Amino acid sequence: MRTPNTFKKGRGKGQFRRAKSGEVAYLEALYSSALAEAVNMKKMEKLKKKVDWKKEKKQKLVGKRKHAETMDVQDPAVLRQCLGPHCVNPNRPGSKYCSDDCGMNLAAVRIYEILPQRIQQWQNSPSVAEEHSKKMLENILREQQDVHTHLKYLEGQYHELEAIILRGKQQAICKDEESTKVIPERVQQIFCVSCGKSISMRVALRHMEHCFAKYECKASFGSLYPTCIEGATRLFCDVYDPTSERYCKRLQVLCPEHSKDPKVSSDEVCGCPLVHNVFEPTGNFCCLPKCLCIHHYCWEKLRRAEVDLERVRALYKLELLSEQEHKVRTSMRNRTGLLGLMLHQTIQHDPLTNDLRSREDN
């Protein structure tokens, strides 16, 4: 008779126990998986019952609503009377009125009844916010008037500068040997503010101007729309760039990318107006040739840019003031509008007592 493998000779009790423990673990795993599957099936059944119950409830509500609407349409006795003034017709299904005109007529009657009282209350009780808005509006209008006056003054400066430039170009050339004498390179040296190189004083202004223009071309200042300012002349470059699809917004006289300085001829005079004590004009002009004058390089461009920059600042300030005026007027209009008066109300409990909000702080 053959014996099982677990009881064969050479096998001990420890091996038998290990085999038995492996079978138990396998049975436990099977039981836990079956239990988890049963729990999942039970949850799915509950969820399915819940979804079916919600669908049935929704269908019942929709059926009741449709049944009520059909009953209202079929039975005129169930319909209510329209709420419109002097209207005896039944209302429409799902509405309080028989037509849109009845609703508009009722709203007009309510406005005629309530609005005069609210207007009288608004006039009797002072509004501190309204007083503050009026003061702000007065200040804004005063500042706008000052900016307009300053703009007219700047426009006058613009035309005056053009006249001075024209007069300077009409001067006769005077060649002065002492003024055009070469300065020793080893004595007069200066560093460029843009690139930092050591350059001669004789060509310092020319080098700095070209160096600045080279670095300025690397940056872009553009907008999607061209500038349209009424009464303003020669402000922005406004050259369209098809690559970036933008309009250049540099000053026209300073744009190094779209405007180049004209070539200077040998018989062209400098024409820069001379001054005394830095700011006092003498009435005289520099009569040196423009190609040899090292003290007034590009003076026309810099003077024009100075005037144009002041005009741009004034226009920007005028735009900010216009936005502030729009905000103040909008708040005042909303405060005293039909909707504001109908929705809000100020109650003065004691008419003999002055309003504490209007009292000035000591």
Q: What is the pLDDT of residues 95-127, one digit of tens each?
A: 899 999 999 999 999 888 888 888 887 877 767
User: Is pLDDT above 50 for 2?
Assistant: no
pLDDT digits (tens, 9 = 90+) for 307-348: 889 999 999 999 999 999 999 999 888 887 888 788 877 676
Integer angstrom CA distances of residue 176 from 4, 93, 204, 266, 286: 132, 102, 21, 15, 11
Nearest partner of 254 among 314, 307, 305, 312, judged by Cα: 305
Q: Are 256 and 218 in contact (CB under 8 A)?
A: no
Rounded-to-integer distance, Cα 295 and Cα 346, Å: 72
Rounded-to-integer distance, Cα 208 and Cα 216, Å: 12
Could you tell me the two tokens for 327?
């905000």
Share of the chain above pLDDT 70, in %: 79
Q: What is the mean pLDDT of the chain?
A: 78
28 vs 205, which has greater pLDDT? 205
Residue 343: the pLDDT is 80
User: Is pLDDT above 60 for 258?
Assistant: yes
User: Do the domain assignments include residue 200?
Assistant: no
How far does Cα 262 stand from its chain's mean position?
Answer: 40
CB-side neighbour CA atoms (13 Å) of 126: 12
Same domain, 62 and 138: no
Residue 92 dihedral angles phi and psi, to the nearest 5°: -75, 155
Rounded-to-integer distance, Cα 140 and Cα 164, Å: 36
Rounded-to-integer distance, Cα 108 and Cα 86, Å: 14
pLDDT grade, residue 352 (50/70/90)? low
User: Is pLDDT above 60 for 241?
Assistant: yes
User: Do the domain assignments include residue 115?
Assistant: no
User: Do the domain assignments include residue 350?
Assistant: no
User: Is pLDDT above 60 for 18?
Assistant: no
- What mean pLDDT do residues 182-205 have? 73
Q: Are 6 and 16 in contact (CB under 8 A)?
A: yes
User: Is pLDDT above 90 for 138?
Assistant: yes
Q: What is the span of the domain harbouring residue 35? A: 14-74
Most confident of 24-33, 292-301, 342-351: 292-301
Same domain, 140 and 241: yes
pLDDT grade, residue 357 (50/70/90)? low
User: Is pLDDT above 90 for 52?
Assistant: no
Integer Rg of the chain from CA: 45
SS3 236: strand
User: Do the domain assignments include residue 6?
Assistant: no
Share of the chain above pLDDT 90, in %: 13
170-175: long-range contacts, CB 8 A cutoff, minimum separation 24: 170/271, 171/269, 171/271, 171/285, 171/287, 172/269, 172/287, 173/267, 173/269, 173/287, 173/288, 173/289, 174/287, 174/288, 175/288, 175/289, 175/292
- What mean pLDDT do residues 183-197 have? 71
User: Do the domain assignments include residue 80?
Assistant: no
Q: Per the structure, how many domains does the chain have?
A: 2
Same domain, 18 and 151: no
User: Do the domain assignments include residue 182?
Assistant: no
Rounded-to-integer distance, Cα 178 and Cα 4, Å: 130
Same domain, 29 and 140: no
Buried b vs exposed e over 127-163: b needs ≥16 C-beta within 10 Å? beeeeebeebeeebeebbeebeebbeebeeebeebee
Most confident of 8-17, 98-107, 235-244: 98-107
Same domain, 249 and 159: yes
Q: Are 154 and 310 in contact (CB under 8 A)?
A: yes
Min mean pLDDT across 109-113, 173-177, 215-219, 244-248 is at 173-177
Min mean pLDDT across 88-92, 141-145, 165-169 is at 165-169
- What mean pLDDT do residues 39-43 have? 76
Token look-up 């600042």 returns: 313
Same domain, 159 and 240: yes
Same domain, 23 and 163: no
User: Is pLDDT above 60 for 15?
Assistant: no
Q: Are 209 and 297 in contact (CB under 8 A)?
A: yes
